[in-house]
Amino acid sequence: MSVVIVRGAVAVVEHSRCVRTGDVVIVDGVIAEAADPEGATVIDATGCVVTAGLVNAHHHLLQTAFRTLPGTRGIAMRDWLPAMAAAYAEAGIDTELTGLAARAGLAEAVLSGVTTVADHHLTWPSGADTVGMARAAAEAAADLGARLVFVRGAARDDPEEAAASADAIVRALLPGTHGGVSSDGMLQIAVGPAGVHSDPRETFDLLGEVARTHGLRRRTQANEVVDVEIAVERYGARPLDLLEEWGWLGPDVTLAHLCDVTDDEIARVAASGATATHAPGCDVPMGWGVAPVRRLRDAGIAVGLGTSGGGSNDAGHLLADARLAMQVSALVGPQLAASEVLSMATAGSADGLGRAELGRLTPGSAGDLCLWDVSGVADAGVADPVSGLLWAAPGRRPRTVVVAGRIVVDDGRLTTADEGEIVAQLFERVRR
């Protein structure tokens, strides 16, 4: 039996309605009420707030290799898509680059307190070893000790090829399982076309069939500005009308972005049981506007938080985007509270993945947590250290990160890999 005890924290955020002090106990990778301290690993949390590990519900890890790319900033999405596609073609997306980009993106994630990343992978050159690419991302996560949700996406892929590849990925990476999650909970597989702006109904149908066969979650992106424009132009309908008609609004579906939504659409998403992912670190710089998160939550929709990828948001730092989410929320309605946004970045994201065991520190939950040091000058004078986590010290990183009871970041450093090597390997590949 392995026991980890986190002791002496300023505050422990169990979930959005329970902030307490006292120990956090992890037994065999799972949060427990208490345990025999004999032989336990004790982590000193003096001066720290302890939260559940953050869950990044929307990332495109491959884009980690394409940050601040010339010609991709300050332009419309219609022009951004071909600019990114040209960069992908020039770099040659293969197993090696997929793995190295995932490794860098996931290392950045855990170093910033994210213990689960949903990687919506959208770039599959024809003839590529798609199982190898998915496996490379999964291996990067396993090496670093992070949880990965690999989303077999599609963006103008041949529908039948995309579905065959998704099916092969599930069979290769999660053999003999149903429900899309590995028995240790470290790897999940989901499917998701990029959106109605890029993929035809057939892709949604066929990937939906793969999801039904294997019990996978479904994810897509909807109602960014260009998504609405193209849907109206091509089909004479709005994206959510199409998704509803195509059977892609339901409790197993998560919709990222949702910047441009009407009250009627919000009501229909809520009635369907679908969940949402807010990604202001992408939506704001892309000029798509601010998703009405307050209205989504008031309608009863579970809302998670994601960074989206390095092609639009050059930082995979979810807590920084939680801060941004609070700041910009005041532009579209009553401001979101820090506790609400923290709960979006943890339990909200986890619920959208169908993973109720993640994103909270209640007994029985996964033993994923972060120690955030709030004893420094950037937190001096802060009245509420939990609100301060988001409002103060932008870009803060956790001192310690634990995933399934294993310490993966200690004193701000990876325990599982050499950060410098990860950086050097990605630069070596992209500059080749």
Residue 221 C-beta: closest distance to Zn ion, Å: 5
Of 29 and 352, which has the nearer Cβ to Zn ion? 352
- Please report how close the Cβ of residue 283 comes to Zn ion at its closest, in angstroms: 9
- Reference 374, options 64, 3, 11, 6; nearest CA is 11
Site string for Zn ion, 269-308 (x = CB under 5 A): ---------------------------------------x
Tell me how far, at minimum, the Cβ of 122 lies from Zn ion, in Å. Answer: 9
Residue nearest to Zn ion (CB): 308
Whether the Cβ atoms of residue 279 and residue 307 lie closer than 8 Å to each other:
yes
- The site for Zn ion, by CB under 5 A, has a size of 1
Q: How far is the CB of 224 from Zn ion (least distance, A)?
A: 8
Spatial distance between the Cα atoms of 199 and 230, rounded to a whole number of angstroms: 11
Alpha-carbon gap, residue 79 to 72, rounded angstroms:
8
Contact 379, 392 (CB under 8 A): yes
- For residue 181, give the DSSP letter: B
Residue with smaller CB distance to Zn ion, 310 or 405: 310
Which CB, 151 or 361, lies closer to Zn ion? Answer: 151
Distance CA 256, CA 192 (A): 11
Nearer to Zn ion among residue 118 and residue 390 (C-beta) = 118
Q: Is 117 exposed, middle or buried, given 0-12, 13-18 or 19+ CB atoms closer than 10 A?
A: buried
Q: How far is the CB of 66 from Zn ion (least distance, A)?
A: 14
Per-position x/- string for 384-403, each x denoting binding to Zn ion as judged by CB under 5 A, each - no binding: --------------------
Looking at beta carbons only, is 51 or 308 nearer to Zn ion?
308
Q: Is the dihedral of CA 93, 96, 98, 103 positive or negative?
A: negative
Residue among 203 and 308 whose Cβ is closer to Zn ion: 308
The tokens for 154 are 């599609």
Alpha-carbon distance of 310 to 11, in angstroms, equals 33
- CA dihedral (124, 125, 130, 134) positive or negative: negative
Closest distance of CB 59 from Zn ion, Å: 8
Residues 304-363 that bind Zn ion (CB under 5 A): 308
Terminus-to-terminus CA distance in the chain, angstroms?
47
64 binds Zn ion (CB under 5 A): no
Altogether, the residues listed in the chain come to a count of 432
Identify which of residues 227 and 373 has a Cβ nearer to Zn ion in the complex.
227
How far apart are CB 365 and Zn ion at their closest, in Å?
Answer: 27
Q: Token pair for residue 110?
A: 């855990």
**Toward Zn ion, which CB reaches closer, 308 or 329?**
308
Residue type for position 65: A
Nearest partner of 111 among 348, 411, 346, 340, judged by Cα: 411
**Comparing C-alpha atoms, which of 139, 124, 238 is closest to residue 191?**
124
Q: Are strands 406-410 and 413-414 parallel, antiparallel or unpaired?
A: antiparallel
**Minimum distance, C-beta of residue 58 to Zn ion, in the bound complex (Å):** 6
**Which x/- pattern, by CB under 5 A, does the window 97-116 give for Zn ion?**
--------------------
- Cβ closer to Zn ion: 15 or 197? 197
**Sequence letter at residue 346:** T
Q: What is the DSSP letter of 251?
A: T
Q: Smallest distance, Å, CB 120 to Zn ion?
A: 7
Residues near Zn ion, by CB under 5 A? 308
